[in-house]
Amino acid sequence: MACPAGEIATDLGCVPSDPVGFVGRFYGIGLAFLGMVALLFMIIGGYYIMTSQGNIEKLQTGKSFIFYSIAGIALAVFGFVFIQIVTGEILRIPGFN
| pLDDT tens, position by position, 51-72 | 999 999 999 999 999 999 999 9
Q: Can you give the pLDDT at residue 84?
A: 81
pLDDT at 1: 63
Q: Using an 8 Å Cβ cutoff, are 56 and 47 in contact? A: no
pLDDT tens-place string over residues 17-63: 888 788 878 888 888 999 999 999 999 999 999 999 999 999 999 99
pTM over 0.85: no
Q: How far apart are CA 44 and CA 26, in angstroms?
A: 27
As a whole number, mean pLDDT of residues 66-91 equals 90
- The residue extents of the domains of the chain are 7-90
Q: What is the pLDDT of residue 5?
A: 86
44-65 burial string, b = 16+ CB within 10 Å, else e? Answer: ebeebbeebeeeeebbebbeeb
Cα separation, 80 vs 74, in Å, equals 10
Alpha-carbon distance of 61 to 24, in angstroms, equals 35
